[in-house]
Structure formats: structure tokens, C-alpha cells
Amino acid sequence: MTEEVSPTEQDTIRSIAEAALDAGGRALVVGGSVRDGLLGRTSRDVDVEVLGLDLNQLESILERFGRTYRVGREFQVLKLKSMDVDFSVPESPDLGFEDAARRRDLTINSMAMDPISQEILDPHSGRADLEEGRLRATDVQRFGEDPLRALRVMRLTSELDMEIDPALMELCGEQDLESVAPERVFSEFSRLLEKTHRPSKGLAFLEESGLLRFFPELDRLRGVPQDPEWHPEGDVWTHTLLSVDQAAQIRQANEEDRPLMWAALCHDLGKAERTRLEAGRVRSLGHDTEGAEVSQKFLTRLQASSLLIEQVSLLVRHHLAPALYVAQEAGPRGYRRLARRLAQGHVNLHLLERLARADHFGRTTEDARARSFPAGREFLEKAESFSVDKGPMPDVVQGRHLIARGLHPGRKFGEILDQCRAIQDESGERNPDTILDQVLSPDLPAS
């Protein structure tokens, strides 16, 4: 069993297996949790498959251990309210495990463990593939039953750092991802970006298999040139792969990982449209603004949340700011305005600097190889000195201050507060009366 399953749950699974055996069936722990157990890894997903019984018989057994409910598109998976384990039966009660396992995607996911005897069942040589670091299809005839499996290969080649069997590579390239629900595609991409140490390996698989054609926003980055002085690593696609790996190194295992990783993937999407050769130099003027728009369309198509779309769009739009603000010696007004713009999308200057750092380190320049990004450090020092490193300064002028001046709540309130906020950001003034004196004229009527 994996460490994710408590001793009590292990005992329950064993008791269920014994009850299934008494009823003429055999319960087996199957899939990724067996694979992860052999690798010494924990697994959040535990699946139990019961051979020799139908779903109703299995449900009758489970009801002895607590309340049950059915899940899945066709409600063919049973769960107990008391534990996060999926229970299922094969297509037919007559199937042995070797045949039942053929419907699974990869040999390393086609092993099972008997919770009573602890025996490992491995009819498709998954253990050997695991030891040799090879991803191989369990059954080439059935692999395409769910095209999403190709993206699972994308994730697993990065997550487990395993190579892909040539026959599997060809199978994946034949899959039609247009038929897969966008939210399932987004989920696999998110797991690749947020949970693996080298997401570039999975992204490179998309290119090699030909599946990158289903993601034209990314596909268009291939072959887009960059100025060799700033990007000696090669084209924009190469830089993007390096950048997502660098972002993966600075993840913090919190809610900011998702916008950081998606922004690292999307930060240069605008270069496909904006790159030009001018006077012998490669330039991509406006790629930050263009990239924000492309990112928004890309994530919308994948049915990402509106929050993530806004976060990524803002980060991409401003990903050049840390280096530019330092180079241009921007003052407090610029930092205050930037902090406020980012806050509108629930991101901050610290997260923006981390994206800029991943972008900077995702190159092969001398300073990037030395992991030196002094502009990022100075950017954050300036932001802290202006008290906006953790977010914009709170509005000094509030509605109560307008009421104290004899104004009544109404449409004008919002306009006046916006003007006050702008003055505050411009000047850094903290006295509400001083700000209001600049906005209100003596003859301004109450609204």
C-alpha cells in the first residue's frame, strides 16, 4: 500500500478483499498506486478492481463497510463515504486479470497487488518496463479508446523521467485530441506544469509525436528566431521549454504555482506574430501585449477558470516590467500603478518577479547559466521601499471621507474615488484631506 492510505484504510481494503473472496470474487489494488508503490512514491489515487463479481454484487459487499455512492460518466465506479478509494469491476465478471488489464493504457499501470497475499500480478511485464525506464502501451489495439491517454504519456514521461517506446510514440501521434473534452486536456497540462520537475520533457514529446498540432499557439513558436545576443539558446520554442523548467524549480507548493507555470508557458506566445528582422536585428516589439491576448484565447479554449485567465494574461502582459523598471529607473508612481494593475487580477510583484526570473534563466547567456538576475532583486527592493511589494497601498480616501465633505453616495462617488486613487499613486500622499482638496473644487455640488 502507499503511504497515502492510512493503516485503517488498508485494513478496510483487506477486509473488503476477504469478503469478495468469500463471494467468489478477487479484489486487487490496481493501476498507478501499484506502480508508485514499487517506485517508493506516495500516490493520491488508489483503485481497487474486483474480478468475478458484477457491480451490484460489489455494491452489496461495500455496503457492509459504510455508505456507498456511484461516480463516473456511467456511474460504474463505487466509493465509500468513509475513504477516498475507487472500486470497480471489469467489463465482464468472467475476465481474468490479464485480459481485464488490457484496457489500461500503459504496462506500468497494468499491474495489480493482492491486498491479502501482497502478491504482485504483472501479466504485461510492467515491472520490467518500470525498471528499464520505458513507457509502453499495454494493448496497441485498445490504447486509442481514450485519446486523452496520449496526454497522460506526456505527463508521465516528465513525472517519472521515462523514455517512450517508439511504437507508443507512433500510437500517440495518431490520437485525435479534438475529441477530448477541453477541461480534461487542461487538467493533464496543469499536472504536467505543476507536479513535474522537468515539464519540458513532456512538451518535447508533443513536438516529437506531432501532437503539438492540436495546440497552434505553442506550435507557432517553433522556428521563430530570437536575437542571439539575448537568446543564444535558439528559437522561441526552445526558450519556452527552458523557461518552464526554470519556473518548475522556483515553485513554492502554493496557490501561485498554477499562474506561474501557465504564465511561463505562455509568456512569449506573442512573439509568433510580432517578431521582425529590422536592420539586421531580430526584434519582437509589443510581444508582451500580443502575448496577453493570445494567452487569454488559448486558456479560454481550454476552459480554464476566469481567475487563471486573468492572472496569466496580466503576468504575460507585464513579464518584461522587472527588468525594464530597473533599467529605466522607474519611480514610486510606476511601481504603485503596476502593483494596482496586478492586484486587479489577484497577482503581485513577487509573483511577477518570479516569472521574469524564470524567463531570464530560460536562456543560455552567461549570466543565466550563473543564475544571476540582479534586476529581479533590485525590482523587489524598490517595490518594498515603496511599500507595494505585497500589493498596492490601501485606498487612503474612503467613502466616509466624501460623506464628511457633504457628498451623498451616488454615481459621482466612484469617479471621485478613482481620481483620489490616481493622485495617491502619483504622489504617495497618505493624508485623505490633502488628496480630496486636489480633487474637489469649492463649488462642486453634492451628487
CA distances from 149 to 111, 329, 345, 424 (A): 17, 50, 33, 53
Closest CA to 251 of 185, 193, 306: 193
pLDDT of residue 175: 98
How sure is the predictor about 397, in pLDDT bands with cuts at 50, 70 and 90?
confident
pLDDT higher than threshold 70 for residue 58: yes
pLDDT higher than threshold 80 for residue 394: no
pLDDT of residue 76: 87
Closest CA to 87 of 105, 120, 107, 64: 64
pLDDT of residue 3: 44
Residues in the chain: 447
Q: What percent of the chain has pLDDT over 70?
A: 97
Decide if 135 contacts 164 (C-beta within 8 A).
Answer: yes
Decide if 98 contacts 75 (C-beta within 8 A).
Answer: no
> Which has the minimum average pLDDT: 158-167, 309-318, 407-416?
407-416
Closest CA to 109 of 47, 16, 168, 58: 47
What secondary structure letter does DSSP report for 328?
T
| Mean pLDDT across 45-65 | 95
CA distances from 225 to 235, 243, 277, 320, 354 (A): 5, 16, 9, 18, 25
> The pTM is what?
0.89
Structural domains in the chain? 7-127 (3.30.460.10), 140-214 (1.10.110), 224-385 (1.10.3210), 399-439 (no CATH)
What secondary structure letter does DSSP report for 147?
T
Decide if 163 contacts 200 (C-beta within 8 A).
Answer: no
Mean pLDDT of the chain: 92
What secondary structure letter does DSSP report for 106?
B
| Mean pLDDT across 320-349 | 94
CA 411 remoteness from chain centre: 41
pLDDT of residue 75: 67
pLDDT higher than threshold 80 for residue 426: no
pLDDT higher than threshold 90 for residue 225: yes
Decide if 318 contacts 338 (C-beta within 8 A).
Answer: yes
How sure is the predictor about 445, in pLDDT bands with cuts at 50, 70 and 90?
very low
Query: What are 291-302's pLDDT values in tens digits?
Result: 999 999 999 999
